[in-house]
Structure 1
Amino acid sequence: MRILIVTGSYPPMRCGVGDYTHRLVESLSINSNNKIAVLTSIKAGNQKGNYFKFPIIKKWSIFEVFTYLSFLKKWQPDVVHIQFPTQGYGTGLLPWCIPLINFFCRIKTVQTWHEGYKFKFFLVTLLKSIVPSCLIFVRENYVKNNLGMLFRWMVRGKEIFYLPSASAMPVANLTEREFYEIKEYYLAKQNRLIVFFGFVYPIKGVDLLFSIANPEIDQIVIAGNIDYESNYSKKILSVAKSEAWFGKVTITGFLPASKISELLSVADAVILPFRNGGGDWNTSFHAAMLNNSFVITTSNSTHGYDSAKKTYFAEVDNIDEMKAALEKHCAAPRKYSKSKIGEVDQWEIIANKHEIIYKRTLNHSKISKKIK
């Protein structure tokens, strides 16, 4: 079977969905006998892997349809699996049309929807929904919680599956000496290390860190890209330079995955105060858990402390609740513990479930709503 994965972003491009797709493709290429290819943006470069990589799309505008059709004819996939959305697509119309193009080319389509859709996306969502295709959601109860009534009508009668995500970051394998050296480096003479990592956007709630953490004892590390020209980033920088927080905030910019994992493995608390709610769909959340971090995040469906996940799920924008959770569950500094290397590879499980979907989609079989 020939599987084509379509994504607008792919490492070294910076995008959470791109990182997710990379981990999926890597696992599929190792654990499957199928031929796997990735069609992505030119900016992704030509790094080699155990699969075919075609970074040939300049822009994802509708004018690239001929590039896409030419590629389909050349590579002849049996199933096309497209990821929605990715930052690499930009405002291009082509990705939304790919399921329709595949239908007329008699190629089976699988779609993964990572985000919900608002009414302004109605027409383009209709474009990718009006033809037969299998839908994969990384969020539990996605249709109920993330789609309005009109959008629910679009997906009615389609094969729908919930496949939870996993960490896009590796496990840090630090010695005890390395653990304390790295922690001391980031702490900068404060007592407690508070970490956020990812894109610095308003929806991520990064500004809330300064209200949740305590400047008397905390050092905040923001590990991720920051657009120094945006009003939101200027707001973050202004608070970081204020009298209360001056010298107690580190903004690292982009870090390699291995360095992010090391930071997570020494953090006293990882705070992800997403304004759209976090949860098992988020690869950042999984990366923190994989590195045995205590996590505070938000949720629209789960509430309170989950001891198995070392995670407190708070109400969105509830600063007082997140502040109280930090003081209650992170009173003492984190101590060294061995990494979780040797645990079951969640991406292998996820890849195996995808392969089942690909095979049965190709064979016109009805797939069980729950894949074990």
Structure 2
Amino acid sequence: MRLLILTGRIEGCGIGMYAKHLAAHLSRVGVDVVLGCVGDGKGGWVSDEDGVRVVRIDVRRGVGMWDVLDRWKPEVVHIQYPSSESLALYLFYKALKRFYRRVPIVTTLHERPNSWRVWPIVWGAKVVISPRWAKLMWGWKIATMKRMVHIANASMLPSAKVGRGGREKLREKWGVGKKKLVLSFGFLTPANETELLFQICDVRKHRLVVSGRAFEQTEAYHAALRDRCGEYGWDAAEVFCGYLDGQRLSDLMEVSDAIVLPYRDGGDDWNTSLLAAMEHETFKLTTSKKRRGYESETNTYYARIGDLDEMKKALERYIGVRGGDVRQGRQWEDVASEHMEVYGRYMNVIEWCEAVERS
């Protein structure tokens, strides 16, 4: 099978990293896959990145969508939506639907789009990451007879490699001292409610570290975060450490006293950051629309969204507690296998149509 996966940028983008992980594991089972990155500003033909063939699609540098289609002649096109380049992906989607009808398009919906103009791509989705979206769109599936599947997510971080003697050394490196180390990570966007950390944590008791990257669209928000940080007595230069690669972030999670993820829409099994945190014994504090209170099985406290008092009390009570079932969670081999079933379903439809035409 020749597969083209389309996404926005890879570096610093959760959906882009998801696409890269998916491409890597599909290639291991024999899929001839190319990952097309739209508008990341680099341009150029194929490069091999961690075993994944990547093509940077940038019309300004002479690498357009039709160039990629003519060169690889994919049997399936898989769009990851939304992304850092949502509008460009939407335009490609519309063009493919109109001019490239012979190839099935599979669209994965990761999050709710921020513009009504792109809702046609939502209604055409074949895969959803969030079970909440699967439930919300059941009426549309019935009305249009479209098949949609929920494919659960998996962690994108490696296992921690902190030895017995490495824990204290790493904490010393981060200047923890006698304080408790509180870690938050993810993209610096309003949806992650990073500004709440400055009130949930206590500057006198906690060493707060925020790992994340801001996009061009969120630079103003990032600047406001740094200003807000100072208003509550924190030193922004110490709090914000920038982007940490997977291994360093996993090691830091392992030696932290608490991981705090105060999401605006609540955390769930679709969130790769929360899934990664679940693979550590470190205490986790997050928000949820359904779950409430402390769950010893995962050493996680689920607070009401935006409830600062509840989150403060939970952090004070459970910080430093270690435990829970930290067995390795869902594997990417499972994610790839379920995608193969989706691709096969739509390829069979195309093959059947071609057979009818030939007859």
* TM-score relative to the length of structure 1: 0.81
Q: 1:196 to 1:33 in 2, by over 3 A?
A: same
SS of match in other structure, 1:70: helix
Matched position secondary structure for 2:22: helix
Task: From 238, 241, 247, give the equivalent of 1:252.
Answer: 241
Residue 127 (structure 2) aligns with: 136
CA distance in 2, matches of 1:105, 1:242: 55
In structure 1, C-alpha distance between the alignment counterparts of 2:83 and 2:172, rounded to whole Å: 36
Percent identity over the alignment is 29
Deviations 1:319-348 (A, max 9, x none): 111112212222x4669x9x96xx476111
Letter in 1 for 2:274: F
Residues 191-244 of structure 1: per-residue CA shift (max 9 Å, x gap):
211111122222211110111112221110011125799553344323433574
* Distance apart, 1:9 and its partner CA: 1.8
Asked whether the 8 Å contact 1:171–1:261 carries over to 2, the reply is yes
1:79-228 matched pairs, under 5 angstroms: 79-89=76-86, 93-97=90-94, 100-101=97-98, 104-117=100-113, 120-121=115-116, 123-126=117-120, 128=121, 135-145=126-136, 152=140, 156-226=144-214
Q: Distance in 1 between matches of 2:6 and 2:152?
A: 19
Contact 1:96 1:124 in 2 (8 A): no
Higher mean displacement: 66-75 or 204-213: 66-75
Looking at structure 1, the residues matched to 169 and 314 of structure 2 have their Cα atoms a distance apart, in angstroms, of 27
Match for residue 354 of structure 2? none
Q: Which residue of 2 aligns with 1:25?
A: 23
2:5 is matched by which residue type in structure 1? I
**Contact kept in structure 2, 1:110 and 1:134, CA below 8 Å:** yes
SS in 2 for 1:81: strand
Gaps of 5+ in 2: 351-359
Change (3 A) 1:100 1:292: farther
Where 1:363 maps in the other structure, the secondary structure is helix
Q: Where does residue 339 of structure 2 map in the other structure?
A: 354
Q: Which amino acid aligns with 1:185?
A: K
Counterpart for residue 261 of structure 1: 250
Distance in 1 between residues matched to 2:70 and 2:142, nearest whole Å: 29
Q: SS of the counterpart of 1:176?
A: coil
Partners in 1 of 2:88 and 2:168 — Cα distance? 45
Match of 2:357 in 1: none
- Tell me, yes or no, if the aligned pair for 2:20 and 2:35 is still in contact at 8 Å: no
Is 2:13 the counterpart of 1:15?
Answer: yes
Residue 239 (structure 2) pairs with residue 241 (structure 1): no
Change (3 A) 1:109 1:90: closer
* Letter in structure 2 aligned against 1:293: T
CA RMSD of aligned residues (A): 3.3
* Cα 1:237/1:71, change in 2 over 3 Å: closer
In 1: Cα distance, 2:50 partner to 2:286 partner = 34
Instruction: Give unmatched runs, 5+ long, in structure 1.
Output: 366-372
More divergent stretch after superposition (344-353 vs 156-165)? 344-353
Q: Secondary structure at the match of 1:215?
A: coil
Provide the rounded CA distance (Å) in 1 between the counterparts of 2:143 and 2:275.
Answer: 28
Q: 2:17 corresponds to which letter in structure 1?
A: D
Deviation at 1:18, TM superposition (A): 0.6
With the length of structure 2 as denominator, give the TM-score of the two structures.
0.84
| Aligned positions of 1:197-346 closer than 5 A | 197-226=185-214, 230-242=219-231, 244-246=233-235, 249-330=238-319, 332=320, 343=328, 346=331
The number of residues matched between the two structures is 344
Distance 1:111 1:299, change over 3 A: same
Instruction: Deviation per CA, 1:142-166: give whole Å up to 9, x if none.
Output: 1445x698xx479842111111111
Residue equivalent to 1:37? 34
- Which residue does 2:65 correspond to in 1? 68
- Report the Cα offset of residue 40 of structure 1: 1.4
Q: Structure 1 counterpart of 2:234, which letter?
A: W
Give the drift of 1:88. 3.6
Once the 2 structures are TM-superposed, how far is the Cα of residue 3 of structure 1 from its aligned partner?
1.4
d(CA) in 2 for partners of 1:239, 1:134: 38
Distance in 1, matches of 2:235 and 2:122, equals 50
